Structure 1
């Protein structure tokens, strides 16, 4: 029994130390909010909701560079305006709007020849920013610390305003810019490798099967900065964020998983303005829908109160008297039993 107890304790400690598995939410029905029908808006790979209503999206690589633009949509998905790039954008893959209202476009795609790319790998990647009221975007060139090209499709902005890039490959690498953001620079500013995030092979239905379960295709941070999400072609992985440290949440946190089944080429993800839902859109030619998924989160736990404890209820005088009587009776019974035991032992001794 003693060894069994030791083994049980060791097993319990081991389970407590093991990383927790992701918690899967129920796959709810997606709600179609609106349908993008304008022929200019094709292959939308990045999405964000605007605080005042409507959406902003960007499209990725296109045979005609002038058609790679940032598009502003109304609440009904109608095109209200678009903004072009000052120079040719190579492969924009994600989009974010920070707390100041600045639009960030992640020109970070770099498909290898094995995955259908051109074979011309890039030495630097780029972020484009469009400030509120600005008519033109600014470019900020970055590079990976080892100089090796990577394909990435996820951009997040943390609480300090730092960009975070997560590579697309299974076991995605998480990079952050820890130096000031350069502008119009020729040589890319080096990123810092913070850690990794590996999606689960969830089995959620998607056009690419188990491969789609593993490839990271987009990311977003909630408007209040307390949550962050990465998505694959099949699922959304949401993390709790503490102190604005998005990278730490992604690399060390335990996500809640929301299945996004059946999305054709689902790449973009964003939060609703109130942070209670995910918005998605598929990277396709032709009309596509902006979908909304409800987020299932556990009820918040409140910390214990730090105020002084409430005074104890007054005890009736009679209760004190009764308690003393019970104590006296128990003490007397103990004495009687003890005397009986001593007397019995004495009798046995005399017989011997």
Structure 2
């Protein structure tokens, strides 16, 4: 590498570092520890059924677990699978029609299983859906919903205390919920409720920076007092006060549990007693012989009641930027100016090299 080329490369790297610093250190960003010390999980059991290699959603029950695959092309994998405590399949419930892209699960207080058919990698779906399987039913029922703005890709589903489904989009962590109770045979409009701002992270994962920024799963604790979102790298747990799940997500500061280097971690749920977080990864595309394993993590303890949460997002409908967001824009603008200076220096360096030849 010639000296001039090496100098140009260093200037470009410096420009990138300036932008990164300006964006990630702006006041108002969520302040939870971005790099918690990983604590090794405890393996619970291995899922050895060959149909379950794309597990994208999981809930824990008194008898075991319920899981679904991620948009499986194989018809035999398009089921709602019930597992015992040893991860053996004891029941597989088919859908009455083909689902599009099932991504997450939730369980209601009455035992109803909710399946989030909300995946949309191409962002082209006119409607998304939730399938509801009441206890003892032999087929789930589809309830269609539509976003108020544009299609979104989503992989996470939550339930409020009164049984209202909440969709969390993958790339922006925006919250949507139906404007009325979803009904079979109808399309219910969704409304935007707010946006979650997750802390920065440096946790190792197969997808690097992108894996730390996308929401791939969610769960509500059995007692309704906590809610968790996960990325490919970390779990973010929020405390829910007075049953207001939306306020917790848009205004709370999460506790962070590192989930390092899971092969493709898209599922998270609480254990049936609510004391632990459980995860499981997809194994499609992994080395031969890989089997999904349910892992148990111990989340950090809740903060003291006297602690004041730091607002971490602006609620939907509030169009005024807060101080933190304004600072972010100012910092970004300053960074842009510095980048332009760097670009000018690069041009000058190149001109000098050309003139000396």
Give the TM bin, normalised by the shorter chain. 0.7 to 0.9
Deviations 1:150-193 (CA, angstroms, capped at 9, x unpaired): 10000000111100000000x321111231221122xx211110
Distance in 2 (CA, whole Å) between partners of 1:301 and 1:80 is 43
1:27 matched to 2:38? yes
Deviations 1:228-273 (CA, angstroms, capped at 9, x unpaired): 0000000000000012221221111111111100101100000011
Q: How does 1:197-346 map onto structure 2 within 5 Å?
A: 197-285=196-284, 286-298=290-302, 300-301=304-305
Q: Determine helix, strand or coil for the equivalent of 2:212.
A: helix
Which shifted more, 87-96 or 23-32?
23-32
Residue number in structure 1 paired with 2:176: 175
**Structure 2: 5+ residue stretches without partners:** 1-26, 285-289, 308-357
Q: How does 1:75-94 map onto structure 2 within 5 Å?
A: 75-94=85-104
Deviations 1:54-100 (CA, angstroms, capped at 9, x unpaired): 10000011223442111000101011110010000010000011111
| Cα distance, 1:298 vs structure 2 | 3.4
| Cα distance, 1:139 vs structure 2 | 0.5
Distance in 2 (CA, whole Å) between partners of 1:183 and 1:157 is 18
CA radius of gyration, larger in? 1
1:47 matched to 2:73? no
Distance change (3 Å), C-alpha of 1:18 and 1:212: closer
Distance in 2 (CA, whole Å) between partners of 1:292 and 1:212 is 20
Residue number in structure 2 paired with 1:192: 191
8 Å CA contact 1:35, 1:288 repeated in 2: yes
1:137 to 120, 135, 140: 140
Q: Determine helix, strand or coil for the equivalent of 1:247.
A: helix
Distance in 2 (CA, whole Å) between partners of 1:67 and 1:264 is 20
Distance change (3 Å), C-alpha of 1:168 and 1:18: closer
Q: How many residues align?
A: 275
Distance in 2 (CA, whole Å) between partners of 1:300 and 1:198 is 22
CA RMSD of aligned residues (A): 1.8
8 Å CA contact 1:27, 1:259 repeated in 2: yes
TM-score, scaled relative to structure 1: 0.75
**Structure 1: 5+ residue stretches without partners:** 1-16, 113-118, 304-352
Residue number in structure 1 paired with 2:72: 62
Relative contact order higher in (CA < 8 Å, ≥ 6 apart): 2
Deviations 1:187-213 (CA, angstroms, capped at 9, x unpaired): x21111011113333110100001100
Distance in 2 (CA, whole Å) between partners of 1:302 and 1:143 is 40
